[in-house]
Amino acid sequence: MNCHAELDPLEASSLLSAAERSLRDAAARATDERLLPLAAGAFEKGEMPDAVVSALAQMGAFGASIHLGPMAYGLMMQEIERADSGFRSCASVQTSLVMWPIHALGSPEQKAKWLPRLRSGEALGCFALTEPLSGSDPASLQTRAVPEGALWRLTGHKRWATNGNKAEVAVVWAKAGGDDARSIRGFLVERGQFQARPIPGKMSLRASDSAELMLDGAVGEPLPGATGLGAALKCLNEARYGIAWGAVGAATACFAAARDYVKERKQFGKPLGSFQLVQEKLARMYTDIGLAQLACVQLARLKERNALTPVQVSFAKRAHVAMALEAARSARDLLGANGITLAYPPIRHLLNLETVKTYEGTHDVHTLVLGKHITGLDAFA
């Protein structure tokens, strides 16, 4: 279901180089052949198949932003989320929240030890910032770290760590020697030092490995450059960039499913697609996807020049996820009763996007980021 030729209203593809289009098309083929066939079953079973991890590694998704650049990373996230947001979350966390902080904030020894294994998929990593009582206010986290020679000993409880049950290493954020945001530091904690357990009862991102991490005197190694809450937020900004791209892939999948369905499904003696209200929904989705495609390309070009700001990332993450969620709802509506089954992708994307809307900064938090930028007044204070 590679939709690029038929779903590119404003010719965003013309802004890509031949090499970028080739990489995108290769990622699309890998998604069609290796990820899409697993998506509905993985969601229904509530598991992340090992075959997905292998496919993501072989298509070069792990560490793509580091090794291939912002455009390649974004295009890959768009294609992967066309299959499932949980699959994209695996790649996004591995790349932006584990490999990127090791690459940007780690020591030469840490880079040599972990980056090759993480890139190949031999090892998975997770990012542990959120806690049961600390979500949108990460400065209130309660995990503590105390020095013990060259290492540190950590105690605390983390929640919603993607890849956590399979992770060989966790990037853990803890307060070290103080109680304010400036005391927060990042640590690498290896498997065996933390206990991971699945989070039961999820009705969204079911194909994502979500974990609680128990740190009861775990030994951790500090990331030299990961000091202050700002370091953690830089990691999250990397991830939000990928989410802004990925959401467009989810919207594309929903649009294509609805368009194909209403062209074939007949009611009152003619195709559903011939009715005005149906065409209005399709036109709205088509328009919104086309605008988001252009925005993604501009984000990548800004990022290539080191000119992309956190406010611009908040702008895109907020707008594109809301757009994709609305597209999923409209597509589900057009499919009628069939739309609530896993035989079609919209209900799965709809449920997944409810989570994407509230992780890596909720929709409302990003609204306040934009509000502060517009007015100069901080609504968080």
Residues marked active site are found at: 360
- In whole angstroms, what is the distance from residue 176 CA to residue 194 CA? 18
Report the candidate in 135, 130, 119, 200 with the shortest Cα–Cα distance to residue 161.
130
DSSP at 138: G
Place of tokens 């060259």: 150
Report the candidate in 18, 96, 21, 26 with the shortest Cα–Cα distance to residue 55.
26
For the CA atoms of 174, 180, 181, 186, the dihedral, rounded to the nearest 10 degrees, stands at -20
Counting Cα atoms < 13 Å in the Cβ hemisphere of 147 gives 4
Per the CB < 8 A criterion, the answer to whether 347 and 332 are in contact is: yes
Structure tokens belonging to residue 259 = 């368009």
For the CA atoms of 154, 159, 160, 161, the dihedral, rounded to the nearest 10 degrees, stands at 20
